[in-house]
Amino acid sequence: MADHEKLLPDWMIGLTDRIMNYYIEKNLNLDSVILDRHPEPQPGHEYMMYAHVPFCHTLCSYCTFHRFLFKEYKAREYFINLRQEMQMAKDLGYEFTSLYIGGGTTTVLEDELIKTIEHARTLFPTIKEVSCETDPAQLVSPTFKNLKGLVDRMSIGVQSFDDNILKMTERYEKFGSGQEIFERIQYAKELFPTFNVDMIFGFRGQDEGVLTRDIELLTQLNPRQITTYPLMVTSQTKCSVRNTIAAPSSDLAKQYRIILDTLGKQYNQLTSWTFGRTNDEGIDEYVVDHDEYLGVGSGSFSFLGDSLYVNTFSLRRYHERIQSGKMGVERRRTFDKHSVLQYRLLLGLFAGRLSRKYFREVHGVNLDRALWKEMMGMRLAGAIKDDPNDPDRLIVTDSGKFLGLVMMKAFYSGMDNIRAALRKPLSSSDM
């Protein structure tokens, strides 16, 4: 049974990748300007804060996020600077509805993380939820439970319970066997209102049996939220890693069909790659749930108004800027109206929440006219259809969910290219 053809044929996946690469190369580059601070908040706008913690005890070979090997003295200095930058955002007049702390390993120094969360909640009492990420080793730290009551959503990167995949990705030696990780999650999952388990599909050797067993173990754990990312190997990933761990891209649709037919029947689908026990499971992809967000910390991104802002990737320069009264932001890219609308369309498709009303009320456009070529293409692909009961709502089909996943994967690859370009000139003194 060629299940994958019910989603998208291979030629359409390839065409989508080429189209996305065209727009990414056109739009995802940065102006050569150096800024001192973010722009002031706009009245009536709602913002989320993203805080980046770029430290890990070990570096996974396939990861292209901004991170450095952990050194305690540098990390403690960094957290102090991070809290000072939060104060600068407050001084500009920002308020935030939620805080997402990403990395790296956010829990690398739990005492500093606790101080930082408490500081953020004091500065911004409007924060309703805090989301953090961690790795399997941290779950058994004696002080990990101290985060209970401070973090609303904790996300644990598991990737797979299969020992062969864990060994292939060099995680077995770092974090233990799939059984050991399973047992740690059982211990930690009730500490937080929402416990999310991150899984990855698209590994070489991850056949139907391996993927199905991973899903069976997930449903035994029954976490409130599960995220199933496709493996993202980009031009920045080492060739040796790409050739060793990545399955052919044509396998993605088949594996995604298995996920929809198993996990999708026991959980509610929240986005193209996230599932929850209910329809209200806290923050997932913050870029989906928040139109505008401000990033603090080295290597963080912000999207404010019509512009993307990027903080310095140099730890040394980040420290110098904060200590001189400047925020970490250095680079900017301003987009035209059409590019912003395309970006919002991508996020709406990925989230499975496409609304004509949103485009009309927030952006002042008729979606079907403003993006008529994009809408026609999605209809021809079978990605969307009109809701007969609500003229403002568009139904995203299973093909549309997969198309959203393919497009978001390409978008994140483009963001990885920005990270790589900004990390490339760093010297040992910057790390």
β-sheet bridge partners, residue 294: 49
Across the chain, which distance is largest between two alpha carbons, in Å?
63
β-sheet bridge partners, residue 107: none
Query: 104 preceded by cis ω (within 30°)?
Result: yes
Give every CB contact of residue 195 below 8 A, 6+ residues apart in sequence. Answer: 153, 154, 156, 185, 188, 189, 223, 224, 225
Q: How far apart are CA 372 and CA 366, in angstroms?
A: 10
pTM for the model stands at: 0.89
Distances (CA, A) of 332 to 174, 260, 324: 37, 38, 20
According to DSSP, residue 279 is labeled S
Give the residues of the chain that fall short of pLDDT 70: 1-6, 28, 32, 234-243, 279-286
Give every CB contact of residue 56 below 8 A, 6+ residues apart in sequence. Answer: 67, 68, 69, 70, 103, 104, 105, 108, 135
Adjacency order of strands within the sheet including 48-53: 268-269, 274-276, 225-230, 194-201, 153-159, 129-134, 98-103, 48-53, 293-296, 301-304, 307-311, 329-334
Tell me the fold of 1-30+337-424: Arc Repressor Mutant, subunit A (1.10.10)
Which CATH number is correct for 48-288, 3.80.30.20, 3.30.565.10, 3.30.1330.60, 3.40.1280.10? 3.80.30.20
pLDDT of residue 283: 56
Average pLDDT, the chain: 88
pLDDT of residue 2: 40
- Rg of the chain in Å (alpha carbons): 21
Q: Where in the chain is the domain with CATH 3.80.30.20?
A: 48-288
Q: Where in the chain is the domain with CATH 1.10.10?
A: 1-30+337-424
Q: Which residues of 322-337 are buried (b: 16+ CB within 10 A; e: fewer)?
A: beeebbbbbbbbebee
Q: How far apart are CA 249 and CA 14, in angstroms?
A: 9
pLDDT of residue 204: 87
Backbone dihedral angles phi then psi of residue 291, each to the nearest 5 degrees: -65, -35
In the chain, the N- to C-terminal Cα span, in Å, equals: 51
Backbone dihedral angles phi then psi of residue 387, each to the nearest 5 degrees: -85, 115
Give every CB contact of residue 241 below 8 A, 6+ residues apart in sequence. Answer: 61, 62, 233
pLDDT of residue 359: 96
pLDDT of residue 281: 56
β-sheet bridge partners, residue 331: 310
Nearest Cα residue to 106 out of 97, 116, 98, 96:
116
pLDDT of residue 5: 45
